[in-house]
Structure 1
Amino acid sequence: MIKQFVGLRILLVFITCTCCLFQSYAQQQQLVKLIDALDIISEKHRVYFTYNPLSVKGVQIDIRPFRKLDLNKSVDLLKKVTPFSVDYLGNNYYVIYTPKKVGITTGILTKKINRGIDHTPHNPIKMRGIVLDEFYQPIRKVNIIEKNTQNGTISLPDGSFVLHLQKNNPIQFTHIGFEPVTIAPNDRFVQVMMTSGIQLNEVLIVGSRNNKRRTVDSPVATDVIDIATVKAKSEFININQFLQNEIPSFNATKQSGSDGADHIVPATYRGLGPDQTLVLINGKRRHQASLINLYGTRGRGNSGTDLNAIPAMAIKRIEVLKDGASAQYGSDAIAGVINVVLKDRAADNQIETFFGFNNAGNNSNPQRQGVDGLTYKTGMHYGTPLSTDGFVSVSAEFTSRDHTFRQGTSVRNNYGDARMMNSNVFVNAEAKVSEQMKFYANAGYHFKNTQAYAFTRRASSERNVEAIYPNGFNPLITSNITDQSLTAGLKGSYKSWNVDFSNTYGKNYFHYYIKETLNATLLQNSPKEFDAGGHSLSQNTTNIDLNRNFSSLFNGFNLALGIENRIEHYEIFAGEPASYLSYDTNGNPITNQTPSSLIPTHNGIIRPGGSQGFPGYSPNNEVARSRTSFGLYIDSEFDFTSNWLLATALRFEHYSDFGSTVNTKLATRLKINPCTTLRASFSTGFRAPSLAQIYYNLQFTNYIDNKPVESVLIANNNPLTQFFGIKRLKEEKAVNYSLGIQHKFDNTLQLSLDSYYIFIKDRIILSGNFDATAITPNVQNVQFFANGVNTASYGLDFRLNWHKSFDKNTLNMSFLGNLNKMEITQINTKGLDSETFFGIRERYFLKASAPNYKLILNGTWDTPKYTISANITNYSSVKLIDWQINKPLDNFNFSPLMRYRASLDAYKPKFTLDLHGTLKFSDRYQLQLGTTNLFNTYPTEQGENTDSGGRWDAVQMGSNGSFYYSKFLINF
């Protein structure tokens, strides 16, 4: 409780400092765009403004005084602080216009307004009309411009408009989220129909290199998730949590008792490996983590990208390409692509503070019941213009989360989530270099300090020294992890071609420090803390991309081509000697010449050396290896008609360590009618073995059937692998099929269905434990990486969205889900015993990463003053095999079936309910309160033989129960 009170005091001090900082800032001007200021005044006083958007473009005013003035004083102040006139049209409508000057004709109106009608004699046509969508609903704020002039207006909330023409030019209607419409001038009342997409028609960064291609026109399924929209209905601490709630086929439950996986949470998409989904930042490849996962229910033998190293406040939206894309982006894009788009303009400046905690009632230790997992988070985002067409955007977050403690087993007292402290900073910038070129850059730095408890060392064990820990001990695996990245480039146009030249550098550095532990061979002289060494992975990617749109060919033809060169470097560095060595009773390192009488024992058992909990990397483990890859691609899109699109891609890639590969893609989109679209694709793909999979090696302690066993993971290039018939790792190969439909029933109801089939050959796996006593001393088991299995995954993603407006209130409902099935079609045993090479336990682990389904139902009620959201998630059942499968049959009456049933850990389907509320004090201040997993639901409790050492493995909603939180948000 002392920690909790201290934490609360820290939070109060922080909020006080934040408020003081805020008051200081409030004394300065708060400049906003005039268009945004008019919206604020309109909302406050329930009036409407009409104006020429071209005339007011670029004008900014200080919004602060308008928040306290009544309507009349606000109008008077507008006249004083802007170069415009303001006149009342009646019926709560005001017009903003530039007064007429001699020799100049500008604006929507150029003389004194008389009852809303312009009597200027030089306007030959007064054009009136209404703008509607395809479901005959009025569209507000459509930009209506007379071409080749500065003359224009916008549509009113009822969709109506009046435009006095100057030169009888064609009239263009544009609005974000709708197809532009151009019509001839007309002196009669006109009805203009604009067609919208299923979502806002945002231009895609991922999945298409056509810079005019919108989400709704994509030939493959793409989810575009706006961060601001999601944060209005829920709260999340990190990106993994956000994606897990928004993308049903994405799973990232926290691991526990899994060494490095406690610190960098592995995530899967569509049940495939963490390294089979490519991650991009603003369309550029993001580096992976240097960690390779050895334990747990997900990501065994894989290295993924740490999405949580990106601050949520830096993100504008996330694009998820739900289709194989190796032919477009190269290695790792077998399952799909996640593209993180950073905030890119001087707006949405925010400060937020967050506090939350878990319900710790489900804990066998009464002293730890109550609350735990105390979480503090603070973040800010600030953007400012840079010249006329540039910007600089800075985002920063700091997060502190304490341990959680849940029911452990006989081998683990401290079962629960790791303690973490994160600091993230990201900068995104763009500047105009010339009329044709822009310079852009983004850079990030992430530092994470973590602490995770390992399995318990009992007092009477050979792994403990009772003079140091009379009651045994729980080793603490801590780490310092940094991620740094820098992207810089030039983009623009040259002779009708769009040109993009960029270089991206990224590095992950992972350093272990083991605390509250000992080296048992040093007896009572052992230190309690050790530097255990670590690993790092750097990646430098250079891209040259060209694309051009030929509008005169068919209904449009886009051609893209480019080259990519990537350099990767992987290292393992050693820790201090005491973290990995064994010592004799005289304190000298043990060698082959050491007499057996000097080797420390306990009850006749030889004491293991190295730091308990996690043994340090030795000089024998050290690695410094690099490789290069070169890629060349061509990508084309044929719009044969406005309704039929055909896209193709071809990519050649050569790796310095395993050779070359060629991959292709073919995709098409067919619009059946304005509301229905069909899409299909076929592609081949690949994933190059990671440098960690090739070179990682370590001697470690593995708990098998609740007993510590010394194991060695040998590198793929080690000659010992040849002893087992394991060949050099080669690339995984994939074939991906998809078929989908997108339909808009009306303006309120939309549906998308996307089916997929993914076949992967030579999938890299971490083997089971082979007997190593005959080939290496003091080690009982050996494991290695191999191209071990072929898998087939097929499933369905669906999303049904419905919304309804009630005056100023809105109800949004969504039902989305993923149905999935993975089959292991072949095990490539290399002539080894199949149950040892990749037995039933390993097979169940692989399948557990691909749950049969996850369904999400969300409802949000939004009003000008508050927002309430509820989220129900249904998790499918999961089955795992625990360590009892390795026990002798005579423990089960010599019945394999009885042993299987005893070993089966079945997790039943579960539901969770999340609630979130936002109280909007004003446009600047918001208070958010909520809870995830309101009813404190846990996975089905298991016995003593789980892989995690607790009563649950890392499945479904995890084992932390309810989480309660509050957030204070300030917009400036």
Structure 2
Amino acid sequence: MAAPRLLPVALAALSLFGTAAALAQEASSLERVTVVGSRKTLPAASSTDTLVPVDIYSMSKAAEGGGQFDLAQTLQNLSPSFNSTRQTGADGADLIDSAALRGLGSDQTLVLVNGKRRHTVALVNLFGARNRGSTGTDMNSLPLLAIENVQVLRDGAAAQYGSDAIAGVINIQLKKRTGCEAVAGYGQYSAGDGKNYLASAYCGIKLGDGSLGITGEWQDRGRSNRNDPNDENVGPRTIGDTAVTNKTVYLNGEFPLAAQNKLYVTAGAQNRDASSGAWARGGVGSSDVPSRNSAAMYPDGFVPFINGKIEDRYFSIGWKSAIAGWDTDLSQTYGSNKMRYNISNTLNASIANKDLLAGGAGLSPTSFDAGGFGFSQATTNFDVSRFFPELLGGSNIAFGAEYRKEKYDIVAGELGSYQDADGLNFGGIAGSQGFPGFQPVDVTNRSRKSQAIYADWEASFTPSLTVDAAIRAEHYSDFGSETTAKLAGSYKVSKEVLLRGAASTGFRAPSLQQLYFSSTFTDFISGEPVQVKLAPNGSAIPQAAGVPPLKQEKSKNFTLGLTVKPSADTSVTVDLYQINIKDRIVLSGRFTADNYPPLAPLLNSLGVEQTAFFVNSINTRTRGLDLTASNRMKLGAGQLSTFLALNISRTTVTAIHAPAALQGYEDVLLSSRERLFIEQAGPRAKATLGFEYSQGAWTGEAKIIHFGKQTQGAFTEGMTLNYKAKTSMDLGMTWQATPALKLSVGGNNVFNVKPTRQDPLETDNGFYYDSVQFGLNGASYFARAHYRF
């Protein structure tokens, strides 16, 4: 493990740095706040006082003058436990950036907005070097300017918040303060592409005794392309960032009413148009004619474009009150995510071949409506809490209930998007090249319900000892019940030193997307196209392989930590953790007629060569260390703020559970390549060392971001792709031109660092730079103007 080598460096820095002290100090100006991971309101938010590790990131600097224009990439450069790398050549995963904590799957992190559960996206990640087989939350559907702070709970919390909170919880707190501000930004890569335009405005208006914050944002990010036209193994590809246009509006408000009653509301909508380049198809003289191309249409080959129209909606309304001394919170939250595909600059080769056989030129339509999918979630919460100052030295008792309904649907594309016009297993391949449309057999419309009750008791037995116990029982209509529990505690050794630890059980329900997603698509293996069927749970292929119905994953989490705060300007946290997951749901390896003959008739009848499905097939263990530290001090005529944040983790597959019919086929169920996608979903180590110096109207910032080594599987059995550790640097300068106007310029990855070069025939995206660690685009530069009204 990398820990023995990096730990001495980290410990040597402890005297200089501490947890985000400056960030926590900003939160301390709030009258009372609730920090994720606790049901108790606190007079201040400090990451050195919490029972479990929580980082609090203010978004004001990032929104006003940061080098990243979206939330996922902002957190990627701030939080070492957080990983989000833009994918390329990964179909739908190119259009929505997935995000995860502690090297686990994106669906094992629960995302909240103002403490309320946020819906996941409808997309299941099937390709790419990250989060294969998982469904996560689209962090970029919220504008940065609308966000007050982001709280990252680095501990299992299923007993407190329910399913998905295995790796941790991210709580996004939105603004509602009065005042107006606006941001205009521009950025591009040093290669001259990926032009990024941003216009965003926030206005908080006073309504009676309450306030309503309104944020509108428009972002246009141009396509980047790092393809090497001189590399014969790659061909005429488009490899880089997806072209994206976002139009977003968010409202967030709270309105005090009579006595101790408050009405609050949050509403948001985003429309996204995104377009990514698929794998190229060869022209005349290649094996793609007539199977995947028509000589009459694209004699020199072509790059199909996968265009997605994404609609994300969110609404939450609630009523806070006090009844007989108890604080109550009744809320209703609704969220939905819909994605529809249109494939352009393409053809259906079977239609073109049929036209050619009939005496025509060999033509096909060049664009197709390929269908899509949608997911919605409605959650009703009733939460009750009360602080008893005299009970056991001060106790907070909380309990509540939750009801949730989820729906998932798949919509078929137009006939030509999936049609095999010239006959099965003959001539041209069926469907639109780049992304075949969803077929009528894929269409589904499923729903489920869940009910939960919970109780939480946090008590300060002595001025030094605080203990929190939580228990939660949850029932799902489609697989049954689960009960989880958590015990956390902290002990104040001295005024400066706090010991803390937690043990909990958790679970994650199989998502509706994992249960019912169905598709036939084209994958490229060592540069060669292969037709693949992803079969939904309970359909003919999984049944023939003896795969049982999906059930919940179960976890056990352990955390042990130390916080040190020798002064108001310096603090340190160190936390060790272990996460054991049983019956983890993963996307299987690829089964073929050769490696599993019983499936040969089914595969042949579907006109595909490979198949995969979701299955509860493995146990994993994740061990790691989190270290955060920061210091603020006077230096010359200005002030220097320094922070260090480090995460080291290792995930290991500890067992493989093959259904009876697949006994002896464990190496196919979990191939060595798929195992590495799970065990090394992110770099083994990640660290951020930041310096900010302010003097008068000027502020300069430097961030050094270290990404540890990472190993991925190659297509050739037994071969691995070894990515060396890499370190990048971000630089920025801000000038407070007037009390209202702030101007910022800077660069990200200014030394143009890229991942270790590989054989493109072995990488997942078919290019010698894969989308691992920090991406493949290289250096970028930006300018921003922020104006406060």
User: Same-fold call, TM > 0.5?
Assistant: yes
Q: What is aligned with 1:817?
A: 646
Q: Distance in 2 between matches of 1:466 and 1:395?
A: 50
Q: Any idea what the Cα deviations from partners look like across 1:389-414, whole Å, max 9, x if unmatched?
A: x0010011111111111135435622
SS of residue paired to 1:237 = coil
Kindly indicate whether residue 437 of structure 2 is the aligned counterpart of residue 616 of structure 1.
yes
Residue of structure 1 in register with 2:739 after alignment: 923
Q: Which residue of 1 aligns with 2:408?
A: 570
Residue 205 of structure 1 and its aligned partner are, at CA, apart by 3.7
Q: Return 752-761 or 408-417, whichever deviates more.
A: 408-417
Mean CA deviation greater in 666-675 or 769-778: 769-778
Aligned partners of 1:200 and 1:429: how far apart in 2?
A: 16
Contact conserved, 2:704 with 2:727, CA < 8 A, in 1?
A: yes
Query: Aligned ranges for residues 629-644 of structure 1 at < 5 Å?
Result: 629-644=450-465
| Structure-2 change in CA distance of 1:670 and 1:198 (3 Å) | farther
Cα offset, 1:907, TM superposition = 0.9
Q: Distance in 1 between matches of 2:788 and 2:133?
A: 44
Deviation, 1:526, is 0.9
Separation of aligned partners in 2, 1:653 and 1:384:
40
Q: For 2:484 and 2:735, how far apart are their aligned partners in 1?
A: 51
Match of 1:67 in 2: none
Report matched runs for 1:827-906 at 5 Å.
827-830=656-659, 831-885=663-717, 900=718, 903-906=719-722
TM-score, normalization: structure 2?
A: 0.91
The offset of 1:262, in angstroms, is 0.1
Equivalent residue for 1:207?
Answer: 37
- Kindly state the Cα deviation for residue 581 of structure 1 after the two structures are TM-superposed: 0.8
Corresponding residue number in structure 2 for 1:934: 750
Post-superposition shift, 1:544?
0.5
SS in 2 for 1:215: coil
Q: Where has structure 1 moved over 4 Å in runs of 4 or more?
A: 196-202, 229-233
Q: Residue by residue, what CA displacement relative to the aligned partner does 1:918-954 show, whole Å, maximum 9, x if unpaired?
A: 0111110111000000111101111122110211221
Over the residues paired in the alignment, what is the CA RMSD in angstroms? 1.8
Structure 1 residues 939 and 393, CA gap change in structure 2 (3 angstroms) = same
CA distance in 1, matches of 2:676, 2:462: 48
Counterpart of 1:483 in structure 2 is 312
The Cα shift of 1:711 comes to: 0.9
Does the CA contact (< 8 Å) of 2:106 and 2:131 recur in 1?
Answer: yes
Decide whether the 8 Å contact of 1:688 with 1:730 is kept in 2: yes
How much does 1:693 deviate? 0.4
Query: 1:806 offset after TM fit, Å?
Result: 4.8
Deviation readout 1:202-240 (Å, 9 max, x if unpaired)? 623411111237434321111111112455773321111
Whole-Å separation in 1 of the counterparts to 2:43 and 2:570: 23
Alignment of 1:468-547 (within 5 A): 468-523=297-352, 524-547=362-385
Alignment of 1:303-318 (within 5 A): 303-318=135-150
Answer whether contact 1:233 1:860 (CA < 8 A) is retained: no
1:579 to 396, 400, 417: 417
Residue 200 of structure 2 is aligned to residue 379 of structure 1: yes
Letter in 2 for 1:253: T
C-alpha displacement at 1:706, in angstroms? 1.6
Q: 1:555 aligns with which of 365, 388, 393?
A: 393
**Alignment of 1:394 onto 2:210:** no
1:886-921 deviation digits (Å, cap 9, x = unpaired): xxxxxxxxxxxxxx3xx3211111110110000111
Secondary structure of 2:38's aligned partner: coil
Conserved? CA contact 1:331–1:686, under 8 Å: yes
Is 1:522–1:583's contact at 8 Å kept on the other side of the alignment? yes
Q: Are positions 1:709 and 2:530 aligned together?
A: yes
Mean Cα displacement is larger for which, 757-766 or 634-643?
Answer: 634-643
* Residues 1:427 and 2:261 are matched in the alignment: no
Q: Which is higher, the Rg of structure 1 or of structure 2?
A: 1
Q: Which amino acid aligns with 1:472?
A: G
| 2:320 partner letter | K
**Do 1:354 and 1:377's aligned partners in 2 also have CA atoms closer than 8 Å?**
yes
Which residue is equivalent to 1:795? Answer: 624
| Percentage of identical aligned residues | 38
Q: AA paired with 2:537?
A: N
**Aligned partner of residue 883 in structure 1, secondary structure:** coil
Instruction: Give, in angstroms, the shift of residue 745 of structure 1.
Output: 2.2
**TM-score, length-scaled by structure 1:** 0.74
Correspondence for 1:781 among 610, 615, 627 = 610
Q: Which amino acid aligns with 1:319?
A: Q
C-alpha distance in structure 1 between counterparts of 2:416 and 2:575, whole Å: 55
Q: Which moved further from structure 2: 222-231 or 554-563?
A: 222-231
Which amino acid in the other structure matches residue 541 of structure 2?
A: L
Stretches of structure 1 that go unaligned for 5 or more consecutive residues are 1-175, 179-195, 361-370, 585-589, 592-598, 886-899
The one-letter code matched in structure 1 to 2:243 is R
1:642 Cα deviation after fit:
2.2
User: Is 2:733 the counterpart of 1:948?
Assistant: no
Q: 2: CA distance between counterparts of 1:401 and 1:824? A: 38
2:275 equivalent to 1:451: yes
Does the 8 A contact of 2:109 with 2:165 survive in 1?
Answer: yes
Question: Quick one: which amino acid aligns to residue 591 of structure 2?
Answer: F
Tell me: higher relative CO, structure 1 or 2? Use CA pairs within 8 A at least 6 residues apart. 2
- Is 1:350 the equivalent of 2:350? no
Residue aligning to 1:121: none
Q: Deviations over 1:736-760 (max 9, x none)?
A: 0001111012343211111110000
| Structure 2 equivalent of residue 142 of structure 1 | none
Cα distance in 1 for residues equivalent to 2:156 and 2:44: 19
Q: Does 1:467 align with 2:467?
A: no
CA contact (8 A) 2:682 2:773 kept: no
What does the per-residue CA deviation read over 1:269-305, in whole Å, with 9 as the maximum and x for residues that have no partner? 1001000000000000000000000011111100000
The answer to whether the 8 Å contact 1:535/1:572 transfers is yes
2-side partners of 1:746 and 1:629: how far apart? 47
Offset of residue 808 of structure 1: 6.2
Q: How many residue pairs align between the two structures?
A: 735
Aligned residue in 2 for 1:971: 788
**Amino acid corresponding to residue 568 of structure 1 in structure 2:** E
Counterpart Cα distance in 1 of 2:579 and 2:738: 49
Alignment partners' CA distance in 1, 2:651 and 2:682: 7
**In the aligned structure 1, how far is the partner of 2:27 from the partner of 2:530?**
59
Superposition deviation, residue 829 in structure 1:
2.4
Q: Residue 242 of structure 1: CA displacement?
A: 1.2
- Give me the whole-angstrom Cα distance separating, in 2, the residues matched to 1:219 and 1:410: 51
For 2:675 and 2:217, the matched residues in 1 are separated by: 39
Alpha-carbon distance in structure 2 between the residues aligned to 1:779 and 1:910: 40
Query: Contact 1:233 / 1:868 at 8 angstroms: preserved in 2?
Result: no
Determine the structure 2 residue equivalent to 1:17: none
Q: Which amino acid aligns with 2:730?
A: D
- Report the 3-state secondary structure (helix = DSSP H, G, I; strand = E; otherwise coil) of the residue aligned with 1:485: strand
Contact in 2 for aligned 1:177/1:199 (Cα 8 Å): no
Task: Find the aligned partners of 2:615 and 2:297 in 1 and give their Cα distance.
Answer: 42
Tell me what 1:143 maps to. Answer: none
Displacement after TM superposition at 1:810 (Å): 1.0
Which residue is 1:263 aligned to?
95
Q: Equivalent residue of 1:916, what SS?
A: strand
Separation in 2, partners of 1:483, 1:437: 30
Within 2, Cα distance between the matches of 1:393 and 1:516? Answer: 42
Q: Indicate the larger mover: 806-815 or 819-828.
A: 806-815
